[in-house]
Chain A
Amino acid sequence: MKRLLPLAITFVTGMLIVVAFVLPHPPFGGLEDRFLNWYLIVVGFTMLLGVDSLVRMHISKLARRRPGWGYSVVLLVSLALTVIVGVWSWIGWRSIIHPVAPFMYIYTHVIIPLQATMFALLAFFIASAAYRAFRARTVDATLLLVAAGIVMLGRVPVGAYLTQKFPNFVQLPVIADWIMDVPQLAAKRGILIGAYLGAVAMSLRIILGVERTYLA
């Protein structure tokens, strides 16, 4: 029964969503949105579980003085401060996202710069990964290097300038566009078709109860 009930719920819900996808008439129409709303309500409650997990882990780290316990202090203090400021903003401005609310100040002056910093690091990671990927040690890597070189040059003004006197079909921007629009897009679509079919197959396995790993 412990396994049968979740499987039955999955089957009925899955079938209803499939039917609702092709039959828009009530009572099927809008079922997907309704189920998604229920899901969001459940997620809202599970956020408490998330905070509980986070706080317990860092308190335990702090209590046992594990390496890096200082970061746990920063996290717990920041968490408490953000909650206090959020409640204060709600009481004082009736909204935590009011432009002059203190919560928005934290968001604008702390969270956004931190996010931007992490995102900016990506440039360095791309450089190091590209260096490894573009080393021409095999035929595949050499092809990748040549294609990437053409696409990068074709995307900047100097690429157009270098080949502007050549016939149209050998100009770098034209070749770069061809690489992106034909072989690149064909490969991407091939992967996507496979992935979508895989997703449909996985969904069918879940709906029919063949796939049960997610039930633990």
Chain B
Amino acid sequence: MIVTVLLLLSSLTFPPSPPSELRAFDTPNDAGRSITLTWKNPPEDESLKGYEVYRAEAVKGEYSMVGFVLSGDETYRDGDVVDGVEYYYFVRGLREVEFSDSERVGPAVSRAQWFNVGRTSFLVIVVVFCVLVFWYIRRARRGDSLFVRKIPGLEAVDEAVGRSTEMGRPVLYVSGLGTLSDVTTLAALSILGRVAKRTAQYEVPLIVPCTEPLVMTTAQEIVKQSYTEAGRPDLYNEGNIFYLTYDQFGYAAGVDGIMLRDRPGAVFLQGYFYAEALILAETGYAIGAIQIAGTTSTTQLPFFVAACDYTLIGEEMFAASSYLSKEPVMLGTLKAEDVMKVLIVVIFLGAALLGTLGFLVSRYSGHEGLTNAFESLVNLFAAE
């Protein structure tokens, strides 16, 4: 007991150990105006409050505090610097009153980089993918037939709208909580165009409650265009595509209310969903509607699979516009996707094989060549 108290008192009286191995360098792969500092924490000191970062423009100049990080952190990014100017730093380990300073380091100069090395793999993948897309588009334009597997969820669109027509009930289209800047929402809107064309042909009302005004405006234009293309602009009702609310559960309550009051015969749940996904899908099930869901949210997919008649899983949503339009050029991009997936699987298998072999070779013969090759491969594809 006495020893513990003495240790505690001594730890409070003496200054903490200073941070060691301080480095200040230009933040890599950025647009400049940033210097990164790294250091090593002193041996475990729970009474340490944090670190103050000090900066000056000359090694013996006047240092001023530019930032504070809590104890445990070992990096700080100074984003308030001018490119081309030399800066010097030190870091102060702070207890309550006691402190200790690291050595001074510098000069560090920030500069903008022309190329983000950490994104090389992204560039390689995009370039390869673009080449594949152009290649398959060219093939499609030449008239080559491209096989695309059946997607039951998209085949069922006509069935769902038809059933709604037979029941004399409206069709409800829910485009999720995504904004117009989400590519999932754009995919959902392209499916909406197809659904709207069918509802116009079958003369069934289409209800589209939206969670974002910009999505609402776009949806109105898409539906209007689809009704015109179907030769029934007279059936278009702007009031059926309306804004509900930005609030997640307010939106869920509003859509549930529409389902229970209007009892749609078909419900489309297409877009990006969060926790409200199952609330909507189960209410749709309860009213006996045929439900076609589609999302890229892996956490909500199981709920849709459990509660809906058909589910478009991830990529199937993005394939929808190409699949439904049957245009050769659009189908060409689908083929490119498939080839890219095969390439990625081959890379995964190769890396797994290389890693396993590297482990076995280094364990039984001590050679690190394969392990190093495996690590280089992993680093090449490690995203920044």
Contact = CB atoms under 8 A, between A and B. Distances in A.
A80 to B, nearest CB: 15
Interface string B213-248: 110111001101100000000000001001111011
Interface of A is mostly: helix
Given A119-B275, A126-B278, A211-B330, A54 B243 contact: yes
B333 to A, nearest CB: 5
Nearest to B214: A46
Given A118-B252, A192-B298, A30 B278 contact: no
Interface residues of A, number: 62
Contacts of B307: 129, 132
Interface of B is mostly: helix
Contacts of A211: 190, 321-322, 330
A129 B184 CA distance: 25
B213 A50 contact: yes
Contacts of A119: 249, 275
Interface in A119-159: 119, 121-122, 125-126, 128-130, 132-133
B275 A122 contact: yes
A57 B222 CA distance: 20
Given A21-B122, A23-B114, A201 B337 contact: yes
Contact of B242 (A54, A125, A199): A54
A56 interface: yes
Interface stretch (B26-34, B149-157, B158-166, B373-381): B26-34
Contacts of A126: 278, 303
Q: Which of B130, B210, B244, B333 has the most CB of A within 10 A?
A: B333
B119 interface: yes
Given A51-B243, A126-B303, 7 more contacts: A46-B214, A54-B242, A115-B249, A118-B252, A122-B275, A130-B306, A213-B222
Interface of A: 18, 21-26, 29-30, 36, 39, 42-43, 46-51, 53-54, 56-57, 60, 67-68, 71, 111, 114-115, 118-119, 121-122, 125-126, 128-130, 132-133, 188, 191-195, 197-206, 210-211, 213-214, 216
